[in-house]
């Protein structure tokens, strides 16, 4: 394992980035039971989520409470489809809804990266610099883009994301990610806990994701159909 359990200040940025990219889990399908705690300025809700993934193709989610389906979502590189049973509403379109929830622009690759403990930033060795901070590899752009300040901390033992942050000061938007311990399955490392916090102006959102069990390369279906009579969600601009 490159770098061992202690961060090596002599390790090049090219090697750090290459090792992080190589740490992306190798699987065809993934199924997991996940506990999600969602909190915003008006409510806190704890739900059980069934998560299914076909790598680079599909993220399928069913949220339940006491065995009753509350919502279903299916995310592909081209589309986000979602419906909620209590309000009888649905959304079928691009990533605007997910981006609105998290307070930052999101696409399929970023959503998958968050769930797998990979960087949501497109890392290029020519654009980034690294240093060792609290025994973690800290990666930052050589020059922070205007109104897009971000950084990343990688664990030295597995080169997975420890934490990351993105702020857009002029828009008063901040997104932070932090990961708990990683579990090793099939030669790859998967998150056990993810903590997501976002601020958009005066609005605050916190999401805790805890994986209860992960099954790899099992036969899965990704059935999804918006029920008849549901009302389409209109996103405010």
Quick check: 137 and 154 in contact, CB under 8 A? yes
Lowest mean pLDDT among 12-26, 70-84, 88-102, 135-149: 88-102
**DSSP, res 63:** E
Q: How confident is the model at residue 86 (pLDDT cuts 50, 70, 90)?
A: very high
pLDDT in tens, 97-116: 666 665 567 789 999 999 99
Count how many domains the chain has: 1
- CATH (domain of 72): 2.50.20.10
Residue 222 falls inside a structural domain: no
Q: How confident is the model at residue 96 (pLDDT cuts 50, 70, 90)?
A: confident
Query: In angstroms, rounded to a whole number, what is the distance separating the alpha carbons of residues 115 and 30?
Result: 11
For the entire predicted model, the pTM comes to 0.89
Quick check: 119 and 20 in contact, CB under 8 A? yes
**Angle CA 209–123–74, to nearest 5:** 40
What range does the domain containing 139 cover? 13-213
From residue 173, alpha-carbon distances to 99, 108, 143, 204 in Å are 12, 21, 20, 10
């Amino acid at each position: 394992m490159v770098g061992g359990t202690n961060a090596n200040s002599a390790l090049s940025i090219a090697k750090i980035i290459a090792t992080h990219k190589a740490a992306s889990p190798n699987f065809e399908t993934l199924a997991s039971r996940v506990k999600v705690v969602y909190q915003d300025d008006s409510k806190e809700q704890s739900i059980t989520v069934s998560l299914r993934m076909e790598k680079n193709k599909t993220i399928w989610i069913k949220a339940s409470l006491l065995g009753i389906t509350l919502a279903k979502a299916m995310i592909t590189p081209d589309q986000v489809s979602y419906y909620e049973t209590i309000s009888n509403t649905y959304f079928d379109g691009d990533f605007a809804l997910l981006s609105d929830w998290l307070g930052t622009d999101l696409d399929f690759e970023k959503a998958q990266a968050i769930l797998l403990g990979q960087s949501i930033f497109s890392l290029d060795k020519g654009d980034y610099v690294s240093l060792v901070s609290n025994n973690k590899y800290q990666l930052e752009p050589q020059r922070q883009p205007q109104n897009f300040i971000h950084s990343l901390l990688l664990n030295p033992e597995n080169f997975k994301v420890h934490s990351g942050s993105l702020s857009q000061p002029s828009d008063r938007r901040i997104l932070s990610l932090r990961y708990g311990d990683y579990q090793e399955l099939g030669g790859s490392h998967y998150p056990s806990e993810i903590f997501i916090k976002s601020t958009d102006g005066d609005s605050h959102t916190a999401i805790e994701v805890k994986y209860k069990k992960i099954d790899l390369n099992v036969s899965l279906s990704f059935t999804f159909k918006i029920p008849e009579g549901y009302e389409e969600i209109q996103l405010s601009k």
